[in-house]
Structure 1
Amino acid sequence: MVDPILTVAPALVLLLVVELLVIRHRHQGSSNKSLDKKDISTSLAIGLVNQATSVLKVGSGAAALLVAASITPFHLPSGNIGIWILTLILADLAYYGAHRAQHRIRILWANHSIHHSSQHFNTSAGFRLPPLFFLTILNKAVYIPLALIGIPPPMILTAELIILLYQFPIHTEQIRMLWRPIEFVFNTPSHHRVHHGSNKKYLDKNYGGIFIIWDRLFNSYAHEDEVAQFGLTKNVDTYNPIKVVLHELSAIAADVRGTPRWRDRLGYAFAPPGWAPTARSGEDGSNFSASWTFASRVKKL
């Protein structure tokens, strides 16, 4: 099974070329960090690595939806425009939930952080699609409820593709603010610059795929009111695509190996990025790590 992204890759590359020409025209005679050729090459290389695992990702997602569709008693018509609109809205809400979890659960962040690893912001960042297929289970599982309520799997997969493709052109600094009603409802370049910013006030904000309205509803919205510093809070200073892909998994492995307590090992893997055990004194005067539970973790999502 071929990843649909591959079929539209030429158009996405053309979009990148057009943007880079615009950047070059606007900054004639001056340097511009958005034209870092090595960074763009790294993004495109990661996109190729992602394609190498696409069969497993797309195939497993489609299989899960087909199984769900086969066991549900509900079957909605695929030719109804209202069902298409409902599918896109529900799929985008599911994407929001998965995306938020990817930022708040470190083992999932190990995969998603690849997308945030560029310190520049242009369309090439859209090619940094996480290739670690064994960590994309949640991404696909969130769409299963849509199949269970009777939405045909092809419609769900199409909606998922639309959500992903929508986000390619909003990876840009060349478009500032759009018409206010659009900015209120939809994800825009301004909102997505916030999402990719490593500024403290921008961290874990603006998760929406097509609609920013979910962030407004679930208290994860931030307005762009200062220049975004793109990249990670601790950047990976390499253009090696393999190192970029594996850097956070390696960091998790090192943290897990460095602590003897299973409670802390679970924290390093499943707590938010940046989590660390804090020592406090017990009744006997000894020090022990602060407790961490899945319940407290879920509460903060």
Structure 2
Amino acid sequence: MKPFDVVAYAVPVFVLLVIAEMIWAARRAPVNYYWAHRTGHRVRWFWASHVNHHTSQHYNLSTALRQTWTGFFALSFIFRIWPAFIGFHPAMLITVGGANLVYQFWIHTEAVGRMPRWFEAVFNTPSHHRVHHATNPLYLDRNYAGALIVWDRLFGTFQRERCDLPIRYGIIKQLGSFNLLHAVFHEWRGMLGDAWHAPWRHKLSYLLRPPGWSHDGSREGSDAIRARWQERRGEVG
């Protein structure tokens, strides 16, 4: 076999392998993002970094630009780099992760109602993501997906937008301030203050348990708030 023949056979095989790997990565990047995002809501340490994205009481494209200042300090990058240790090329991770992030820009809007049913069944949409940004009890901690809403459907965190429940945006305890530094750091201050004043055996729990958890039961997390609302409304959880 001549050198040219080797190249002629090798190049198509190489291209097919690259395409296959990118498809494999693209299929796994969304589920990786799903669990990273879910952790960002369910572990207070990561929520302290992510909460800045949710503080707006309005929902438009500018909301998408409210990004964390403290993600590196919170070690959130561990969710993005671990695939590199099992063989994914960093350039591929950056490309797929970037595409997943860019996709989410357009879904931060109230200008789009519902997409076609088949699209709503598979992809994240403005309707699905409005639910994610809501403070209504039924909507709390729902629809974590980046591009593919199928992960929420699969893992039991999907909630459709309901016509009888107009969405209220923001966080459970609204900021009540336009101070930028307060918006960025208020949860860090609250979390570390809670840990400082807590008994020793509960200090770490204030960092690792969900937002709203307290060792004396004086507060409520999203699950308890939702359950109480559903019980009052007579709705099945």
TM bracket (short chain): 0.7 to 0.9
Q: Which residue of 1 aligns with 2:228?
A: none
Letter in 1 for 2:136: N
Q: Which residue of 2 aligns with 1:253?
A: 192
Q: Which residue of 1 aligns with 2:94?
A: 157
Structure 2 matches for 1:169-188, cutoff 5 A? 169-188=106-125
Alpha-carbon contact 1:90-1:146 (below 8 Å) kept: no
Q: Which residue of 2 aligns with 1:232?
A: 171
Provide the rounded CA distance (Å) in 2 between the counterparts of 1:161 and 1:136. 20
Runs of 4+ in structure 1 deviating by more than 6 angstroms, as ranges, are 76-79
Note the C-alpha offset of 1:202: 0.6
Q: Which residue of 2 aligns with 1:146?
A: 83
SS, match of residue 72 in structure 2: helix
Alpha-carbon contact 2:45-2:74 (below 8 Å) kept: no
Which of 32, 45, 69 aligns to 1:131? It is 69
Alpha-carbon contact 1:123-1:168 (below 8 Å) kept: yes
Q: Which residue of 1 aligns with 2:44?
A: 106
Could you say if the C-alpha distance between residues 78 and 241 of structure 1 is closer, same or farther in structure 2, counting changes exceeding 3 Å? Answer: farther
Question: What are the ranges of 5 or more consecutive residues in structure 1 without an aligned counterpart?
Answer: 1-75, 280-301
Structure 2 matches for 1:1-301, cutoff 5 A? 80-138=18-76, 140-225=77-162, 226-259=165-198, 261-278=199-216
Alpha-carbon contact 2:58-2:170 (below 8 Å) kept: yes
Letter in 2 for 1:264: H
Note the C-alpha offset of 1:147: 2.3
Provide the rounded CA distance (Å) in 2 between the counterparts of 1:150 and 1:248. 36
Provide the rounded CA distance (Å) in 2 between the counterparts of 1:240 and 1:145. 35
SS, match of residue 147 in structure 2: coil
Note the C-alpha offset of 1:270: 1.1
**TM-score of the aligned structures, taking structure 2 as reference length:** 0.80
SS, match of residue 142 in structure 1: helix
Q: Deviations over 1:246-271 (max 9, x none)?
A: 01001112212222x12221121111
Note the C-alpha offset of 1:152: 1.3
Provide the rounded CA distance (Å) in 2 between the counterparts of 1:133 and 1:218. 25
Provide the rounded CA distance (Å) in 1 between the counterparts of 2:86 and 2:107. 31
Note the C-alpha offset of 1:145: 4.4
Note the C-alpha offset of 1:136: 4.5
Provide the rounded CA distance (Å) in 2 between the counterparts of 1:223 and 1:133. 29
Aligned residues: 202
Alpha-carbon contact 2:50-2:71 (below 8 Å) kept: no
Provide the rounded CA distance (Å) in 1 between the counterparts of 2:128 and 2:197. 38
> What is the alpha-carbon root mean square deviation over aligned residues?
1.8
Note the C-alpha offset of 1:180: 0.6
SS, match of residue 250 in structure 1: helix
Question: What are the ranges of 5 or more consecutive residues in structure 2 without an aligned counterpart?
Answer: 1-13, 218-237
SS, match of residue 115 in structure 1: helix
- What percentage of aligned pairs have identical amino acids? 40
Letter in 2 for 1:234: K
